[in-house]
Chain A
Amino acid sequence: MKLRLKITKEGGLRFISHLEYTRTLERAVRRAKLPAAWTEGFNPHMKLSLASALGLGIESLCEYAELELAAPIDAAAAAAALSAKLPQGIRALAADVVEKAPKLAALLSMASYAADMPEGAPAGLINSAAAGYNEAAEFFYDKKTAPGKPARRLDLKKHTLSVACENLPGRTRLCFDCLIAASGSLRANDLIDALNSRFQLNLDIFAVRITRTGLYKEGRKPLIGEG
């Protein structure tokens, strides 16, 4: 039996790594005294896993975690107990208890992101960049790999079909979905970087605030709620 959780990674927590985030969650589970299951052996591990790693610097409103349970619990009660022990920057948004189910990571089909451009970024240029991206049949990007290694060429259109541009008061936001395939997926930063250099947006890439807003299975179905 597993406890499936939808949780967030917000504010200052965007600056911690995937591993550190997992450990932070593990400690909260322990503080909440949830009946976690453990691996056997000399160095027991809590059977806790996350659906998908999130890049450093990205916030999320939809992280999914799975905790293997050693004893049955009520999902709502578990979520309440955990919520009371979560640190600032993590909220539990939904919980579900599932019997036999494949690993979350294997189910993923798509992630959606919202990227807030820095204040004062050129809204007109960004809008036409989004339009330009949407019209293109292919959109190649040379992804930098390790220093000294040759870049890897990706066709971004294979992962992200279109980019929507929202013009908010004083801010421009780009929203887009990235397909998750067994062969790999796109990092949200890569798409922003590609648009920035192709359309000469001159964005301060470090000042772009990216949030993962959704994570789905079978196209666009939620991971919690429907089995």
Chain B
Amino acid sequence: MINNEDLLARVEKPGRYAGGELNAIIKGRDGIKVSFALAFPDVYEVGMSYPGFKILYHVLNGLPFVQAERVYAPWTDMEALMRSKGRRLAALETGRELSAFDLVGFTLQYELTYSNIVNMLDLGAVAVLAAARGEKEPFVVGGGPCVFNPEPLADFFDFFIVGDGEELIVETAAACRDWKEAGRPGGRRGFLEVLARLPGIYVPCFYQAEYTGDGRFKQLTAQNPAAPPYIKKRAVKNLDAAGYPTAPVVPFNEIIHDRIALEVFRGCTRGCRFCHAGMVYRPLRERSVAQLKRLARGLVDSTGYNEISLISLSTADYSCLAELLADLSLDFARERVSVSLPSLRLDSFSIEVAQKVSGVRKSGLTFAPEAGTQRLRDVINKGVSEENVLAATSAAFAAGWSSLKLYFMIGLPTETFADLKGIADLAFKVIDAGRRRSGRRDVKATVSVSPFVPKPWTPFQWAEQDSVERTKEKQLYLKSLLCNSRALAYQYHDPQAGALEGLFARGDRRLGRVIVSAWRKGARFDGWSEHFDYGRWRDALSEHAPAAPWRRAFGEGEPLPWDHVRPGVAPEYLLREWKKALKGETTPDCRQGCAGCGVCPALGVGKTMAAR
């Protein structure tokens, strides 16, 4: 069946809502004890590109007693039609509306999707506030990277799954079945008490937050015997054993990443100090070459895609990359299936790899020096030198690329205007070196600059974030340095969006009211510049949480609103790294030897590398 079929001819990209895709799993009602909606708080093309939900979809549907379905945020044209006709948000597989599910799970990938979560609940006829949900309403669960500070969302969620979801989500579904079959003992609260005892689950209503007289966060205390003081993340020990879906849903309409996504490893060893993903997905767990080859074969056969993207936080770091690429190209050459890497690190080996894997596309090569001077790159622990950058970029130009992208951040801790000038200097050197090495005059680079946002559970979690005005001033300064060159294009991001992202990243429970208020004022799709309106948020904030910790530095001993949700990296390690950062001292990659971040012992999970 197709939801809202009569409306589809009236909207942009109707294929978003039609469902019925290849490999979608639609079970009969027989034997289904638990219904689980996997809700992505952004539009279909974005949500369908996210590999995490593909894993959970297949893990859940692998359980005979579960029907898992997908639901995405309707675009604003569709929402307007749905609201005018009184339609409710329903899932793609069976057309069940959100309010009729047992569990509705949102993935928290990006702070600027929070208003969409509220909007989707409302459109699906689920009470927006967890406290207002009736006995028959679904349990709303969140997971994903933003769960490492879930506090701004505490009002909306019944519980959170912290860390890797593939095992814990099975335990959750089983617990739900058992609770329902036992006659729902204790009602909603009873189920939440069962959940709170599962390692890795956080039930926010079992905790009380306190604030100081001057409006700072003071502490969060457990109020229920089932609720642990700290929630340690779950981590899958062995990715080869954890499995991976080889028959993902293949959309009919074009999505953002319209290709096979094969996860090569999880976790990153580099230890960049600004990087949230690098800290919260530790430790490194690599899949074996043999397993990746098996998965690739299954994926190609079941999807018919012509491209395999080897994904991870830093695929060029994979221990057996050369072997894997050689094997895959041998396996798939006859079928014209190409292999690609989503991101590249700065060394000439990467260029060789890039040539091998995508001799095809002479575009889309991105290098991320992140900072303009060696001093600042040491502060952020980005282990690349100017020589690395120039060698890699000019190798790329020599290999035939005519343009590439250089990615930087501004507003990093300790940054001065000399560091900003360093960005421009480096960009000009890239062009000069590229011209010399390639012998061509037409080499081009795009300098893409985004404002730094301090994230929880990183060494920079204590840092001050630049104000919108300050960011604008820096952006203009950079523009003045870069605008004279035809070889360089300059791209920058909305500092207001960065400000909001920072607010949610390090905010506390008091932001719940702000989110509801901004949503009532019309906030949706805040991550899309055409829909983002800073004014709504500024007003909501001044009405409901004037004391929110907007971009300020946190003191080293100050209680942090996210301290109870633990990714495993030790707070002492983060503080040590923060202090080293301020002194410009670097820390080596933990592939070369343990850097003592504490994750492995804390989680009882070891760093695994594929055997060569």
Q: How would you classify the secondary structure of chain B's contact residues: helix, strand, loop or mixed?
A: loop
Chain B interface bracket (under 10, 10 to 19, 20 to 34, 35 or more): 20 to 34
Q: With the chains together, A206 CA to B20 CA distance in Å?
A: 21
Most chain B beta carbons < 10 A, residue from A15, A38, A46, A89 = A15
Among listed B102-110, B289-297, B300-308, B469-477, interface-contacting one: B300-308
Report yes or no: B304 in contact with A31, Cβ–Cβ below 8 A: yes
Among listed B8-16, B148-156, B171-179, interface-contacting one: B8-16
With A20-B253, A31-B301, A31-B304 already in contact, the answer to whether A89 and B20 are too (CB < 8 A) is yes
With A13-B252, A89-B20 already in contact, the answer to whether A30 and B2 are too (CB < 8 A) is no
Q: Contact check: which of A15, A46, A89 meets B14 at CB < 8 Å?
A: A15
How many A residues, CB 8 Å from partner? Answer: 30
Query: Shortest CB–CB separation between residue B518 and chain A, in angstroms?
Result: 32
With A44-B336, A88-B20 already in contact, the answer to whether A12 and B2 are too (CB < 8 A) is yes
Report yes or no: B15 in contact with A87, Cβ–Cβ below 8 A: no
A72 contacts B by Cβ under 8 Å: no
Report yes or no: B360 in contact with A20, Cβ–Cβ below 8 A: no
Contact with A along B531-557 (1 / 0, CB 8 A): 000000000000000000000000000
Query: Shortest CB–CB separation between residue B274 and chain A, in angstroms?
Result: 36
Report yes or no: A26 in contact with B2, Cβ–Cβ below 8 A: no
Report yes or no: B306 in contact with A30, Cβ–Cβ below 8 A: yes
B468 contacts A by Cβ under 8 Å: no
Q: With the chains together, A47 CA to B476 CA distance in Å?
A: 49
A217 contacts B by Cβ under 8 Å: no
Residue in A closest to B10 when the chains form the complex, CB atoms: A206
**CB-contacts of A1-60 with B (<8 A):** 11-13, 15-17, 19-21, 23-24, 26-31, 38, 42-44, 46, 56-57
Report yes or no: B304 in contact with A26, Cβ–Cβ below 8 A: yes
CB neighbours (8 Å) of A11 from chain B are 2, 20
Q: Contact check: which of B6, B15, B254, B301 meets A15 at CB < 8 Å?
A: B15
Residue in B closest to A206 when the chains form the complex, CB atoms: B9
Report yes or no: B302 in contact with A31, Cβ–Cβ below 8 A: yes
Q: With the chains together, A23 CA to B255 CA distance in Å?
A: 12
**CB-contacts of A105-162 with B (<8 A):** none
Q: With the chains together, A206 CA to B15 CA distance in Å?
A: 15
CB neighbours (8 Å) of B361 from chain A are 43
Q: With the chains together, A87 CA to B252 CA distance in Å?
A: 9
Most chain B beta carbons < 10 A, residue from A21, A24, A38, A44 = A24
Report yes or no: A24 in contact with B10, Cβ–Cβ below 8 A: no
Report yes or no: B302 in contact with A42, Cβ–Cβ below 8 A: no
CB neighbours (8 Å) of A29 from chain B are 304
Q: Contact check: which of B6, B18, B254, B359 meets A12 at CB < 8 Å?
A: B18
Q: With the chains together, A13 CA to B21 CA distance in Å?
A: 9
Report yes or no: B306 in contact with A24, Cβ–Cβ below 8 A: no
A168 contacts B by Cβ under 8 Å: no
CB neighbours (8 Å) of A44 from chain B are 336
Report yes or no: A87 in contact with B360, Cβ–Cβ below 8 A: no
With A43-B360, A87-B21, A87-B22 already in contact, the answer to whether A16 and B304 are too (CB < 8 A) is no
A207 contacts B by Cβ under 8 Å: yes
Q: With the chains together, A31 CA to B22 CA distance in Å?
A: 12
Report yes or no: B20 in contact with A16, Cβ–Cβ below 8 A: no
Report yes or no: B2 in contact with A31, Cβ–Cβ below 8 A: no
**CB-contacts of A46-98 with B (<8 A):** 46, 56-57, 85, 87-89
Q: Which residues of A contact B (CB under 8 A)?
A: 11-13, 15-17, 19-21, 23-24, 26-31, 38, 42-44, 46, 56-57, 85, 87-89, 206-207
Closest 7 CB pairs of A and B: A27-B304, A12-B18, A15-B14, A30-B304, A206-B9, A31-B304, A87-B22
